[in-house]
Amino acid sequence: MTNHGQEKPKYKALSAEEERVIVHKGTERPFTGKYNDFDEEGQYNCKRCGEPLYKSDDKFDGHCGWPSFDDEIPGAIKRIPDADGRRIEIVCANCGAHLGHVFEGENFTKKNIRHCVNSVSLTFEAVKLPQELYDTAYFASGCFWGTQYHFQKQAGVISTEVGYMGGHRENPSYEQVCTGNTGHAETTKVVFDPSKTSYEKLAQLFFETHDQSQVNRQGPDIGTQYRSVIFYTSEEEKQTAKKLIEQLKNKGFKVATELTPASTFWKAENYHQNYYQNKGGSPYCHIYQKKF
């Protein structure tokens, strides 16, 4: 009878640099790793075998040049005294891939521990949350380049898009909207996580980043497409907007902002998306002013 023995585990093929670090216990140069300056939500897995190692909630900036974590997924990490007699090496408990070292007593976080990990030893798996966990809001406050600029920097905002809403023509082009004959307003669609921010906070930002007293214009941009509008998607959003408008009026501000039920949002051309992020600079008529 032939003894086939135990089947060897199948691991991912490694590049020369990956093998230098993962197999031969090397170290990548600081501040060069893919995940050093990286803060997306998800899970970090072993590059060689794919086993889950760390969650993004446990990642922090250790100011050391390598990804830092103050906790691991239970049972995922094995600790080994380093050959230098001073440090503790950490490896994948499943396949033994070298990850880096673990340090204690540095007081970076409450857990007082730092897993210093080579990016090259990791892969990242983004967390895809069900869309129903997010809410969507629509704001028009003049040129949508500037409106998007402020919302995409707001904590809790998942994504933003610019487009057109409130008109009577289907799928209008920018040139058509600019004639003022389609009835649309340049609008920013804001998808946000209600567990991290609120509609009221976003509506406050809307008022604080444009001049809500102007009618059919914003700064040098003139036309109905530049009017100030909150396109509400629920009675709750409408009442929140009305409450903020009353607060502004009580503070002596004039308010020309329209409250209109949301209708079809037509996404604008690609060259309008993330304009200031792609081109650099900052908005010329959307200046932040604290009002609440």
Of the chain, the percentage scoring pLDDT greater than 90 comes to: 83
Containing domain of residue 233, as a range?
131-279
SS3 210: coil
pLDDT for position 215: 97
Q: Which of 155, 143, 153, 236 is nearest to 187 (CA)?
A: 143
Contact 148, 188 (CB under 8 A): yes
Return the structure tokens found at 276.
Answer: 């200031």
Angle CA 88–93–98, to nearest 5: 55
- We report the CATH number of the domain holding residue 178 as 3.30.1060.10
Is pLDDT at 1 greater than 50 in this prediction?
Answer: no
Is pLDDT at 82 greater than 90 in this prediction?
Answer: no
Please tell me whether the overall predicted TM-score, pTM, comes out greater than 0.85 for this model: no
What average pLDDT does the structure give for the chain?
93
The catalytically annotated residue of 46, 92, 143, 285 is 143
Average of per-residue pLDDT across 155-183? 95
For residue 290, being part of any structural domain is answered with: no
Strand partners, 278: none
Is pLDDT at 61 greater than 70 in this prediction?
Answer: yes
- Both 89 and 146 in one domain: the answer is no
Q: How many domains does the chain have?
A: 2
pLDDT for position 7: 58
pLDDT in tens, 241-261: 999 999 999 999 999 999 999
For residue 9, being part of any structural domain is answered with: no
Strand partners, 260: 231
Q: Which of 175, 177, 148 is nearest to 164 (CA)?
A: 177
Q: Which of 109, 91, 90 is nearest to 101 (CA)?
A: 90
pLDDT for position 130: 63
The catalytically annotated residue of 64, 116, 178, 285 is 116
For residue 262, being part of any structural domain is answered with: yes
For residue 7, being part of any structural domain is answered with: no
Domain boundary (84, 107, 126) is at 126
Determine the Cα–Cα distance for residues 109 and 98; give it in Å rounded to an integer. Answer: 24
- Both 54 and 176 in one domain: the answer is no
Active site includes 143?
yes
Domain boundary (126, 155, 186) is at 126
Average of per-residue pLDDT across 217-236? 96
- Both 169 and 186 in one domain: the answer is yes
Average of per-residue pLDDT across 139-157? 94
